Structure 1
């Protein structure tokens, strides 16, 4: 069952010459209908699969994947995504797969547009895209589709202009998970959803988390929770949050929809607010610090390293093996607290 058939083997089984088999396999030259049927019948019987990697290497076939990524120097969350991309690049380097990372400033849509144009000029065989800006990402995916360039998005999805595949978490479900954590911890009270530093109208990932969060509490007919939403600019977070808590002193929980929970934790520490439950995202070093100290109660791990690594892997396997790209690949929603965080730090 595991025999590797050579052209010579197939020729003997079909009763034709090796040259005839070669012409059938590579679809070149003339082959009689009788010989063609003999060879194709044998190929179907043995379930023949050519060694695509060997063929690509022999033909010096090179595949180029571009990854359009937010600059980790501006937002540290994307540092682990970059590591995942670089590791995947090494995994497939032996198969003539080249991965180019093109970074954009996550604070400016203009930077995304400019660097998307750079990707187009590269004329890649495939693209891995972090669609941070929803409207601009839709336009980018449309541009790639016009050029028949397959695209996988990661971290958050883009609809209705969809890519070939998505790798990440179900963000609505992650919002529901966060809501469940508050319900089991508080039982009742006032909770505020905090969006930091992004235009919510163009940040679908934050919208979906809030939707899931609110949907969960709306589904509880006897809910005794009151939910509010607060938008804060990072450079004004200290004064804005301090003023908000002074005017809303009955706030018992804060849900941070980005990886910047540590900024909120810093302010709570200065205010000596020890009775507020804080739930956020991601294992940034500063988030882990406040998780260990108890200032952050829970973190939901989005695993950016694995998201990006899997995205590149799927694109490489599509190019090399013609493997089908799954439309949606959801990763688990890991709930991290001070007791299990070290296990995730060691294995990240």
Structure 2
């Protein structure tokens, strides 16, 4: 049925002209370039140039072709086109090892999910993992991926200096690079998928401010060399800037850097020497380690905000030892990253410089909606 006229179409497709608009009803009609050219009243060559965005086309012809494409909801058979061209694409991923840090498990899931979507388009995705605790491991695995000469790279740049060097190596070979989770520099990488980390820190500050009217607040970095971890610096910057803008002496903000293995002794010592501590902001996914320490050492009435929906984090969120979690949606980050690189290779789509994900605030009441 033609929805615009409510008339039945007995043929495979029908044409109904109302005023100057052409409506086309179709029943799985396969439109060729020849069909489109006939409908638009132009040559096949003109249609080909419009579809493939090459060569010169007059504005009048372009408008005619685009109108027909819109009317018939034309979708090119890209799969067939790629198979015909026998073109293979290789996307390489440099990923922190999920067996060492569970946060990256969801990132791997996103990569694998997207790779399945683009497999029919002859897009092959390989994952090279590195130790997230070791710059030496990062540099070594970067060289492994570089020797594979991929068509594009998705990169988690945990180590700022080493990541800049790696991206420079890829760019010398004209290999596009998209980073996720942390942004190195818009001028270096071709694009970034993730959250605005400065804004993320501000959101955490606002949450604590809504719960604490006065007192000491501590930013805790776990297992991070803060001088080489730009993502931690950005979160801290957003957090501290928020409180500076309050222009009040009601809050004292302190930064604490602790190794995970020393947390159970170092954190209680710190809190005993800072009895006015009312809030903690954990800048990594390891909030559960802090929550576990607070529970074991019987510290109560301390608001705790951290990141990511790890199983242990959720357990402490349900027991309300963790007050809020900020969900960075790692699976969606990598899914979008692979998608954007694949679409760049297949369709020659421009890689967007920055794709920002929402900053999801999770508490004990809504976490179930995010883990289904």
Question: 1:180 corresponds to which residue?
Answer: 206
Counterpart of 1:78 in structure 2 is: 104
Matching of residues 289-304 of structure 1 within 5 Å: 289-304=315-330
Q: Does 1:110 align with 2:136?
A: yes
Q: How far 1:95 moved relative to its partner? A: 1.0
Aligned residue number for residue 269 of structure 1: 295
Q: 1:219 aligns to what SS in structure 2? A: helix
Is the contact between residue 21 and residue 39 of structure 1 (CA under 8 Å) also seen in structure 2?
Answer: no
Question: Does the 8 Å contact 1:68/1:101 carry over to 2?
Answer: yes
Helix, strand or coil for the counterpart of 1:217? helix
Post-superposition shift, 1:243?
1.2
Once residues 241 and 319 of structure 2 are traced to their aligned partners in structure 1, the CA distance between those partners, rounded to angstroms, is 31
Cα distance, 1:269 vs structure 2: 0.5
Alignment partners' CA distance in 2, 1:284 and 1:223: 35
| Matching of residue 225 in structure 1 with residue 251 in structure 2 | yes
Sort the Cα spacing of 1:337 and 1:8 in 2 relative to 1 into closer, same or farther, 3 A: closer
Q: CA deviation at 1:7?
A: 4.6
Unaligned runs of 5+ in 2: 1-21, 25-29, 70-74
Moved more, 2-11 or 149-158: 2-11
Shift of 1:113: 0.5
1:6 aligns with 2:29: no
Q: Point out the more displaced range, 49-58 or 297-306.
A: 49-58
Give 1 or 2: higher helix fraction: 1
Conserved? CA contact 1:168–1:329, under 8 Å? yes
Residues 14 and 306 from structure 1, CA distance in 2 versus in 1: closer, same or farther, beyond 3 angstroms?
A: closer
The residue number in structure 2 matching 1:29 is none
Determine whether 1:131 maps to 2:157.
yes
The alignment yields a C-alpha RMSD, in angstroms, of 2.7
User: 1:46 maps to which residue?
Assistant: 65
Q: Does 1:333 align with 2:359?
A: yes
- Is 1:256 matched up with 2:282? yes
User: Does structure 2 conserve the Cα–Cα contact (< 8 Å) formed by 1:262 and 1:287?
Assistant: yes
Runs of 4+ off more than 6 Å? 20-26, 36-41
Distance 1:95 1:152, change over 3 A: same
TM-score (normalizing by structure 2): 0.83
* 1:221-261, Cα deviation, whole Å (9 max, x unpaired): 23511000100001111111121112112111111000000
**Matches of 1:160 and 1:328 in 2, distance apart?**
8
Alpha-carbon separation, structure 2, partners of 1:23 and 1:214: 54
Counterpart CA distance in 1 for 2:268 and 2:237 is 26
Contact kept, 8 Å, 1:301 with 1:334, in 2: the verdict is yes
SS of equivalent to 2:371: helix
Q: Paired residue for 2:233?
A: 207
Describe the shift of the 1:40–1:6 C-alpha distance in structure 2 as closer, same or farther (beyond 3 A).
farther
Q: Distance in 1 between matches of 2:88 and 2:176?
A: 16
Identify if the C-alpha distance between structure 1 residues 289 and 39 changes in structure 2 by more than 3 Å, giving closer, same or farther. same
Q: Determine helix, strand or coil for the equivalent of 1:68.
A: strand
Shift in CA distance, 21/239, structure 1 to aligned 2, threshold 3 Å: closer
Between the two structures, name the one with larger relative contact order (CA 8 Å, sep ≥ 6): 1
Q: In structure 1, what is the Cα distance between the partners aligned to 2:247 and 2:271?
A: 28
Answering whether residue 156 of structure 2 is matched by residue 156 of structure 1, we say: no
Q: Name the structure 2 match of 1:33.
A: none
Distance 1:116 1:151 in 2: 13
Match of 1:90 among 93, 108, 116: 116
TM-superposed deviation, 1:129: 0.4
| CA distance in structure 2 between the partners assigned to 1:249 and 1:308 by the alignment | 41
Any stretches of 5+ residues in structure 1 without a counterpart?
A: 27-35
Residues 94 and 153, structure 2, Cα contact 8 Å, conserved in 1: yes
Mapped contact 1:64–1:100 kept (Cα < 8 A):
yes
CA contact (8 A) 1:265 1:296 kept: yes
